[in-house]
């Protein structure tokens, strides 16, 4: 407790500094105090904002709020459910055979030649204000025929004075589909969609040809080309034709890849001089969604502002059981969005980030951050609570299981660990038991996760709960809960596999296994040590070979690993998107697919081919059960864990619910700026007395020296 006089001094200083009560450490301009602005952060600059290229979480956090694909996921309902966004309804596939005859929905996949999706969009949707639409009185576009000199002094999109808008039409969606085939844009899903969308491959070849004829950086006008599989039927309707039966296609319609792009923007951004100034669609999106990107300075901040032309969407009135009780449905029926402006600030280091959150300068946990789980305590039984200090500050926490799987994979081509012999299986099962996922979750994720029993996470069709859902090779069902088999059992399996006490029974050499991983971040070392500890339990030596991402990928491609650690983030909530990771045709070594274990079981592959085209139902469940059973027996992965999403936020943030499929949740959120201002003041009273104390101590320590010096001077003077 500072003494009275010191407190007087500090108060005086505070008055002098002109900060009557307002916190000194507020990182935002004083003018923003009390404004309806949400503050959050990003840690890495997004690589692409062009929806045809963007394919990662930290980019979707931004563009999912800017673009408006036909469909979206319901914000509250679980399991995930598709609802219309720009479309008027969720389209149903119409199936046709090779002779273009309509087939019933229950038709067998073999007979289906192609499926058609007819998507109707709502009339009256407007684009955000943007210079690409700007026109003069005569309706001529203002900025479509710029000379190089016109761009002087222009560095960002906001430097253009005039803006305009236009109604969203079905042709814009078709235009974006064509952009998938654009030779300069390298869409990551071009390969995949080329297999499905009729005519996309051909269009890509045609465009590549046309591009060669153009000068370097010349404008490739997509409107002059046709895509056979996608046509605008009328102003508000378009039709997409897909090869075969592909029930997962509707999920893609909720991703930014299928958002509308106006051809004007392509023409606008292709003008000479634009690219050199970083003015491109990749940098300044043009969308119809609730927000628009007004500041894009990835060195410091990105700002989303309310799109003034956005209208017509209201807050949902239904949710999961419990949502109403949690107060999440209180705003039902109100127009969206609530928040005027969202500021994403660059925050690279975890400690400042976390401290600013505690000081009230970030409203909610941001995109991928590991520190936020430090505040969380594990209370067993899978539920997670906040520490008392956090609760006292009114911080709220919500969790839900993510549509992500983490796994420790075995390379099935490895002579020791791989293969389908009984010996190798036992070895893999022994390791699966030894690596204690529950401890992993408790130490490294603070309870934010559940141990995996198979490849399919909860909330995805095909997941089985309870006794039927456990992995019988690793767990026993005891007292109504899965219990990991004992280390003794693992040791016994190891002995049966020919390695008693972790040593080769034939040669006596100790068994040494290699784990390849990418080791970065402060936690890496602890994690390596922990894995070593797990293998030590059964007497096996583990060598962790950490390397950079590139080298790691290269090793996976060449099959140069024994064990590796990977995760998969689902594109859409369908079991196909998880099980394909074990499909033989996806083998990393053979086809550079996504099956890094190079697992290939003919029975599994046969079932996969059948399962993937089916609609959800008991038959599909049965096939999935069989597939999962095969995979558990072969154990190409140590089924590790499904992480839990969590939303940590202050009490002034409302309507927040973690939703991994939908990244467009900003529009539902609401904040109470007055409460925030009050709390910030309360939490951030500056303490200045130590600074004065320090100066005083240094000053006082010089006093005797000065006195000695004076005395010496006088003596010399006398002498």
Partner 1 sequence: MISYIIRRLLYAILILIGVNLITFFLFFEVNSPDDMARVHLGVKRVTPEAIQKWKEERGYDKPRFHNDAATGARRFTDTLFFEKSIKLFAFEFGRSDQGRDIGYDISTRMWPSLAIALPVFLLGLVAYLTFALTMAFFRATYVDFWGVVACVAMMSISGLFYIIGGQYLIGKLLGIVPISGYDGGTDALKFLVLPVIIGVVAGIGASTRWYRTIFIEEINKDYVRTARAKGLSEPRVLFRHVLQNAMIPILTGVVVVIPLLFMGSLVTEAFFGIPGLGSYTIDAINSQDFAVVRAMVFLGSVLYIIGLILTDISYTLVDPRVRFE
Partner 2 sequence: MPFTPEFLWTDRLIYLLLAVVAVLVWHIRRHEHLRAPWRKVARSASGMSAATVLACFVVIGLLDSVHYRPAIAVKDGKTIYAVEVLSVFDKLATKLRVQKATTYSAPLATHRYSKELIGLPEGRQVRDYPRLKYGGAHLSDPAKEWGLDIARRCLYGLAGGALIWLIVATLLCALLARRGAVDTGRMWRAVWRGETEIPWRAIFLTLAMILAVSGPLVALAAQYHVFGTDKVGQDVFYQALKSIRTGLVIGTLTTLVMLPFALALGVMAGYFKGWVDDAIQYLYTTLSSIPGVLLIAAAVLMMQVWIETHPLWFDTVLARADMRLLALCVILGITSWTGLARLLRGEALKLREMEYIQAAHAFAVPHSRILARHILPNVMHIVLIAMVMDFSGLVLAEAVLSYVGVGVDPTTISFGTMINSARLEMAREPMVWWSLAAAFSFMLLLVLSANLFADAVRDAFDPRIRSAQPARLAARIA
User: Where does this chain bind partner 2 (CB under 8 A)?
Assistant: 350-351, 354-355, 370-371, 374-375, 377-381, 387, 389-390, 439, 442-444, 503, 507-510, 512, 519-520, 522-530, 533, 541, 543-548, 551, 555
* Near partner 1 by CB under 8 A: residue from 148, 150, 191, 693: 191
* Near partner 1 by CB under 8 A: residue from 47, 393, 537, 626: 47
Does the protein bind partner 1 through residue 590 (CB under 8 A)? no
Residue 388 phi, psi dihedral angles, 5° rounding = -60, -40
Q: Apex CA 455: angle with CA 559 and CA 467, to 5°?
A: 140
List binders of partner 1 among 192-251 (CB under 8 A).
Answer: 192
List binders of partner 1 among 270-289 (CB under 8 A).
Answer: 275-278, 280, 282
Specify the DSSP element, H or E, that contains 696. Answer: helix 689-718
Q: Record the tokens describing residue 592, joined without a space.
A: 């550079």
Q: Which stretch binds partner 1 (CB under 8 A): 183-191, 327-335, 642-650, 658-666?
A: 183-191
Nearest distance, CB of residue 345 and partner 1, angstroms: 6
Which residue number, 10 or 640, has a Cβ lying nearer to partner 1?
10
Q: Helices in 340-479 by DSSP H: which ranges? A: 350-358, 388-392, 422-434, 437-444
Contact indicator for 511, 503 with CB cutoff of 8 Å: yes
Specify the DSSP element, H or E, that contains 682. Answer: helix 673-683
User: Rounded distance, CA 397 to CA 365, Å?
Assistant: 10
The contact pattern for partner 1, residues 532-561, with x = CB under 8 A and - = no contact, is -----------------xx--xx-------
Binds 257: which of partner 1, partner 2, none (CB < 5-8 Å by kind): none
Which residue number, 77 or 277, has a Cβ lying nearer to partner 1?
277
* Cα-based distances in Å from 654 to 60, 117, 667: 21, 37, 11
User: Rounded distance, CA 156 to CA 297, Å?
Assistant: 10
Contact indicator for 666, 62 with CB cutoff of 8 Å: no
The contact pattern for partner 1, residues 386-405, with x = CB under 8 A and - = no contact, is --------------------
Cα dihedral 395, 400, 402, 408 sign: positive
The contact pattern for partner 1, residues 80-99, with x = CB under 8 A and - = no contact, is --------------------
Does the protein bind partner 1 through residue 444 (CB under 8 A)? no
Cα dihedral 166, 170, 176, 182 sign: negative
User: Rounded distance, CA 355 to CA 118, Å?
Assistant: 50
Q: How long, in residues, is the chain?
A: 719
Nearest distance, CB of residue 390 and partner 2, angstroms: 7
* Cα-based distances in Å from 236 to 58, 76, 114, 410, 630: 31, 28, 23, 50, 47
Which residue number, 209 or 387, has a Cβ lying nearer to partner 2?
387
Does the protein bind partner 1 through residue 591 (CB under 8 A)? no
Does the protein bind partner 1 through residue 420 (CB under 8 A)? no
Q: Decide: helix, strand or coil at residue 622.
A: helix
Q: What are the residues facing 292 on neighbouring strands? A: 305
Q: Hunting for tokens 């101590």 — which residue is that?
A: 697
Which residue number, 25 or 421, has a Cβ lying nearer to partner 1?
25
Q: What are the residues facing 241 on neighbouring strands? A: 116
Q: Hunting for tokens 């300069």 — which residue is that?
A: 184
Which residue number, 8 or 512, has a Cβ lying nearer to partner 2?
512
Residues that bind partner 1 (rule: CB under 8 A) add up to a total of 61
List binders of partner 1 among 693-712 (CB under 8 A).
Answer: 701-702, 704-705, 708-709
Q: What are the residues facing 653 on neighbouring strands? A: 671
Binds 203: which of partner 2, partner 1, none (CB < 5-8 Å by kind): none
Which residue number, 292 or 581, has a Cβ lying nearer to partner 1?
581
Binding footprint of partner 1 on the chain (CB under 8 A) = 23-27, 29, 45, 47-48, 55-56, 155, 183-184, 186, 188-192, 275-278, 280, 282, 297, 299-300, 345-349, 351-353, 355-356, 359, 361, 549-550, 553-554, 592, 594, 684-688, 690-691, 701-702, 704-705, 708-709, 713
């Amino acid at each position: 407790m500072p003494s009275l006089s010191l407190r007087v001094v500090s108060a005086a200083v505070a008055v002098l500094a002109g900060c009557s009560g307002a916190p000194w450490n507020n990182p935002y301009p004083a003018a923003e105090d009390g404004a309806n602005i949400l503050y959050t952060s990003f840690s890495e600059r997004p690589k692409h904002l062009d929806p045809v290229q963007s394919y990662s979480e930290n980019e979707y956090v931004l563009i999912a709020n800017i673009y408006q694909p036909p469909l979206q996921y319901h914000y509250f309902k679980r399991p995930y459910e598709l609802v219309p966004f720009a479309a008027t309804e969720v389209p149903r596939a119409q199936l046709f055979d090779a002779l273009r005859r309509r087939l019933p929905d229950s038709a067998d996949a073999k007979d289906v030649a192609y499926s058609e999706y007819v998507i109707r969009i709502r009339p009256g949707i407007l684009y955000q204000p943007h210079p690409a639409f700007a026109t003069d009185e005569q309706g001529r576009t203002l900025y479509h025929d710029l000379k190089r000199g016109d761009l002087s002094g222009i560095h960002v999109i906001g430097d253009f004075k005039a803006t305009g808008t236009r109604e969203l039409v079905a042709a814009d969606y078709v235009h974006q589909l064509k952009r998938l085939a654009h030779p300069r844009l390298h869409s990551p899903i071009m390969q995949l969609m080329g297999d499905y969308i009729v005519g996309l491959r051909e269009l890509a070849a045609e465009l590549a040809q046309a591009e060669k004829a153009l000068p370097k950086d010349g404008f490739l006008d997509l409107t002059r080309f046709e895509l056979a599989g996608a046509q605008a039927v009328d102003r508000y309707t378009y039709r997409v034709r897909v090869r075969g039966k592909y029930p997962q296609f509707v999920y893609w319609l909720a991703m930014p890849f299928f958002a509308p792009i106006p051809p004007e923007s392509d023409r606008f951004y292709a003008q000479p001089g634009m690219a050199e100034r970083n003015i491109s669609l990749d940098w300044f999106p043009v969308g119809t969604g609730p927000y628009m990107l007004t500041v894009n300075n990835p060195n410091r901040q990105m700002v989303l502002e309310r799109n003034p032309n956005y209208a017509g969407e209201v807050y949902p009135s239904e949710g999961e059981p419990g949502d109403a009780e949690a107060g999440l449905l209180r705003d039902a029926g109100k127009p969206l969005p609530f928040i005027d402006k969202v500021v994403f600030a660059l925050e690279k280091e975890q400690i400042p980030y976390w401290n600013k959150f505690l000081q009230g300068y970030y409203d909610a946990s941001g995109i991928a951050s590991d520190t936020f789980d430090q505040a969380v305590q594990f209370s067993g039984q899978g539920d997670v609570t906040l520490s008392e200090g956090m609760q006292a500050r009114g911080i709220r926490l919500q969790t839900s299981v993510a549509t992500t799987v983490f796994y420790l994979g075995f390379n099935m081509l490895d002579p020791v660990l791989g293969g389908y012999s009984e010996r190798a299986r036992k070895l893999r099962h022994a390791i699966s038991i030894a690596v204690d996922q529950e401890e992993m979750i408790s130490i490294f994720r603070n309870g934010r996760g559940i141990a995996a029993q198979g490849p399919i996470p909860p909330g995805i069709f095909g997941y089985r709960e309870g006794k039927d859902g456990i992995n019988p090779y690793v767990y026993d069902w005891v007292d109504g809960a899965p219990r990991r088999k004992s280390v003794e059992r693992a040791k016994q399996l190891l002995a049966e596999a020919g390695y008693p006490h972790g040593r080769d029974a034939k040669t006596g050499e100790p068994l040494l296994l290699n784990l390849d991983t990418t080791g970065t971040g402060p936690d890496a070392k602890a994690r390596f040590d922990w894995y070593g500890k797990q293998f030590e339990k059964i007497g096996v030596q583990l060598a962790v070979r950490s390397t950079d991402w590139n080298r790691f990928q290269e090793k996976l491609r060449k099959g140069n690993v024994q064990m590796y650690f990977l995760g998969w983030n689902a594109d859409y909530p369908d079991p196909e998107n998880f099980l394909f990771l074990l499909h033989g045709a996806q083998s990393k070594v053979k086809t550079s697919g996504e099956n890094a274990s190079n697992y290939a079981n003919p029975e599994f592959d046969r079932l996969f081919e059948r399962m993937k085209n089916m609609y959800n139902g008991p038959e599909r469940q049965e096939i999935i059960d069989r597939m999962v059973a095969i995979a558990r027996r072969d154990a190409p992965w140590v089924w590790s864990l499904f992480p839990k999403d969590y939303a940590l936020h202050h009490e002034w943030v409302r309507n927040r619910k973690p939703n991994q499929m939908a990244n467009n949740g900003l529009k539902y959120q609401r904040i109470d700026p007055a409460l925030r201002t009050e709390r910030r003041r309360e939490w951030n009273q500056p303490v200045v007395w130590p600074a004065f104390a320090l100066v005083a101590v240094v000053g006082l320590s010089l006093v005797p020296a000065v006195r000695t010096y004076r005395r010496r001077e006088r003596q010399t003077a006398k002498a």
